[in-house]
Amino acid sequence: MLKILSLSVLLLPATLSSRAQTARIEGVVLDSASLQPLAGANISLLRTTIGTTSDITGAFSIGPLTSGSHVLRIGSVGYAPAEITLDVNPGESLSLRILLQPEHIETPVVVVTGTRTVRSIDDVPVRVEAIPEEEIEEKLLMTPSNVAMLLNESTGMRVQTTSAASSTANLRIQGLSGRYTQIMNDGIPSLGGLSAGFGLMQLIPLDLRQVEVLKGATSTLYGADAIGGVVNFLPKLPGDPPELSLLLNGTTQEGFDLSGFYSGAFDDDGVSLLASHNRQSRFDVDDDGFADVAEFTRTTATPRIRYRFSEDVVLRFAAGIVDESRVGGAMDDVPGTGSSSPYRETIDTKRFDASSLFSWQISPDQSLGVKLAWLRSERDALYGSTVFNATQLVSFADVQYTFELTDHSLLVGSAFRVDDFDDRTPGFSARSYRYGVPSLFVQDEIRFSEMVSAVAGGRIDFHNTFGTFVVPRFSVMYRPTSSLTVRLGGGTGYRAPTIFVEEAEEIGFRNVRPLSNVSPELAQSASLDMNWRGVAAGLFTIDFNTALFLTNLDDALIADEDSLEAEVVSLRNATGPTKSIGTEISVRLTYKEFKLLLGYTYIYATQEDNLLSHEVALNPRHSFGAILIWENHEEQIKAGLENYWTGRQRLERNPFRTVSPSYWITGFLVEKGFGAIRLFINFENIFDTRQTRFDPVFVGDLSAGNIRTLPVYAPLEGRVINAGIRYVLR
């Protein structure tokens, strides 16, 4: 992340000359630090309609002009604007050399997800969205215990609650089910399968430096699960820079968070530790005896070590431990009469992972990277009277070699993944599986000119159960000026079928039948996006992005409707395609100490099956978000106001309605710093929007332990106020 502080505008002495009979102003705009030309800079005469834009060499020309005094204003995104007063005589031309000094701008500059290589986000031919550390810290103050809100309030993404009782959730990208999203931690696949429902709710954001999102089918680089997209959580590197952060938080719904992060350097080596203890009591918002917020107690620890053998050879090692006990369903004091065995869900999860990353910069043009990872995830649960016990082991290895040729950056690699799922539930051992997938992949980043570049790649997976898969990808980028970028790309992907679908998580995997005669899911996707950066009225910096996307998914794994009526989940392939088409628009406006972020998403996703087509459930066609942030660095004060609107959604298995109502959610956050100590308070969902204001969240007899929870289409927790204290020493 780059932060550059602007204090002034530098103007080198202008050279004045009389070169023509018509008065003109000509010149070149340069970066004061690098002396590189600034293409797309806006040059205008104040109090007139005369203006122009610098070309790719930074040159500009304005004229013809009347004689007299003129005020010239020069602005470029990321640079402090300049104003020059000039006296122009008849028949005179002024030749200017203008140096603009970079100003403080919050923008991520380095990404690795899109092409597996370290690139400026502006230079990646594949569209990659980066959530910077500043935005991560803002969401950290709202929900310190997980990253759900961080993702849910990003354009084109939606965190979908999969179980009303246990508060599990997954991430949908561009209208596709959460199982199609590949979640990675530091470039290593980490949250899937048995961990999918709890992963986002257990990932602590305190040590994150950036989150990268790659939307669309991306199996070419990241394997089978990346049909909908990839989310890569990038932690702060050990010892780079040194930091000590402590956070204490409490909520009005009896939640408690205590987290700490330390990062220190020892010569060229580094070490870091993230530790967190989080608690939440069962909380019944609407007093119906059902806990709208599940109870949990969780302890997390993540140590990391960096060892530098030399400037070019670095080894990183990380381990992670998560131990959580969760209780959902009925409260202890269920109203009404009936059995003394009310419905409850008790879930114990234990997770351990270890990973290592080895990097060797062989030469300026060659590098080698090796990743090794191992994960054990265990769940022992009781859903009412139904037992679900399972263990999943995942082993992962990845080697890639990158080298540069003239106008080409080539990458070749190989990966191997073993996914071993052991269903220990009595009578359901047939749901177990063992998938082994060796892979080969290749990629070429091609630079055709200053304005045009592309990336092309392919992958071959040799699946031990479902055979061989070939998945290509291609994307091209056109940048006519430094202010405008256009990308067009597409790719394919696949997913091996498992029982980990939203319908199964919703009912706690009870009565989920073993898979039989099912095929892998296959996807094709394409997207077109445009990004423009500029200055409006010489005052506002604008970052505007719009994208069109289309995904076609064949052989989608769906729950048979007839089986659902009998409260049994039988999974089969749909006979027709799943299609998702839509657009995303995001705008970022910056004016002095104010930032305004606007985002709109339109998604129309349909599922065809047995010659019938219907809209995918729990998928709002329209959603909109607006965030206004004011920040004064000198006074160490920050305030933010958020408004999010979610449109109507088609509903399934809901006896009260077939289409949900639309709703707004409003939040307000304030933080004040006193040196290294910062106090904060957050008012979330101020107007208490929640699903139980529209419908019950379950049907049946809660006191007798005989209920069926309903799909969740709106928040369950309602209004929440949280406040706390941070200590940050860097």
| Nearest one of 662, 711, 659 to 689, comparing CA atoms | 662
Across 553-558, average pLDDT: 95
Q: What stretch(es) of the chain map to CATH 2.60.40.1120? A: 10-100
Highest mean pLDDT among 382-386, 403-407, 412-416, 482-486: 412-416
The answer on pLDDT for 336 being more than 60 is no
Measure the CA–CA gap between 74 and 53, rounded to whole angstroms: 9
pLDDT > 90 in the chain, percent = 58
Host H or E run for residue 274: strand 269-280
pLDDT reported for residue 565: 65
pLDDT band, residue 560 (cuts 50/70/90): confident
In the chain, residues under CATH classification 2.40.170.20 are 234-729
CA angle at 484 for the pair 478 and 488, rounded to the nearest 5°: 40
Burial class (CB in 10 A: 0-12, 13-18, 19+), 559: buried
Q: For residue 103, what pLDDT is reported?
A: 61
Q: What is the pLDDT of residues 269-284, one digit of tens each?
A: 999 999 999 999 999 9
Biggest CA–CA distance in the chain, Å, is 99
pTM, 2 dp? 0.84
Is pLDDT larger for residue 724 or for residue 152? 724
* Cβ neighbours for 604, distance < 8 A, ≥ 6 positions apart: 175, 580, 581, 582, 615, 621
At 96-143, the pLDDT tens digits run 888 887 664 444 445 666 677 776 677 788 888 888 888 899 899 999
Convert the pLDDT of each residue in 426-477 to its tens digit: 999 999 999 999 999 999 999 999 899 999 999 999 999 999 999 999 999 9
List, by residue range, all CATH 2.170.130.10 domains of the chain. Answer: 110-233
Cβ neighbours for 652, distance < 8 A, ≥ 6 positions apart: 617, 711
Q: b/e per residue, 73-108, with b = 16+ CB within 10 A?
A: bbbbbbbbbbebebebeeebbbebebbbbbbebebb
Kindly state the tokens that stand for 484: 């405008």
Question: Does 400 have pLDDT greater than 70?
Answer: yes
What confidence tier does 722 reach under pLDDT thresholds 50, 70, 90?
very high
Give the model's pLDDT for residue 540: 75
Q: Is the pLDDT of residue 165 over 70?
A: yes
pLDDT at 16: 34
Q: Which amino acid would we find at residue 15?
A: T
Does 20 score more than 60 pLDDT? no
Confidence band of 17 (pLDDT split at 50, 70, 90): very low
DSSP-based three-state secondary structure for 151 = helix
Q: What is the mean pLDDT of residues 238-259?
A: 94
pLDDT at residue 488 greater than cutoff 90:
yes
Q: What CATH number belongs to 10-100?
A: 2.60.40.1120
Instruction: Show contacts of 317-321: CB within 8 Å, 24+ apart.
Output: 317/354, 317/355, 317/356, 317/357, 318/186, 318/235, 318/354, 318/355, 318/356, 319/352, 319/353, 319/354, 319/355, 320/351, 320/352, 320/353, 320/354, 321/351, 321/352
CATH topology of domain 110-233: Ferric Hydroxamate Uptake Protein; Chain A, domain 1 (2.170.130)
pLDDT of residue 664: 97
**Better pLDDT: 527 or 502:** 527
Q: Is 647 helix (H, G, I), strand (E, B) or coil?
A: coil
Domain 234-729 - what CATH class?
mainly beta
The predicted structure's pLDDT at residue 4: 31
Which of the residue ranges 255-259, 535-539, 593-597 would you say has the lowest mean pLDDT? 535-539
Q: Residue 189 in contact with residue 183, Cβ under 8 Å?
A: yes
Neighbours of 497 (CB within 10 A): 21
Whether the CB-CB separation of 285 and 690 falls below 8 Å is answered with: yes
| Structure confidence at residue 696 (pLDDT) | 94
Are the CB atoms for 128 and 529 separated by under 8 Å?
Answer: no
Q: What is the pLDDT of residue 110?
A: 59
Span 667-676, average pLDDT? 95
> Average pLDDT, whole number, for the chain?
87
Q: Is the dihedral of CA 236, 241, 242, 247 positive or negative?
A: negative
pLDDT band (50, 70, 90) for residue 218: confident
Once rounded to an integer, what is the mean pLDDT over residues 217-242? Answer: 85
* pLDDT, position 7: 30
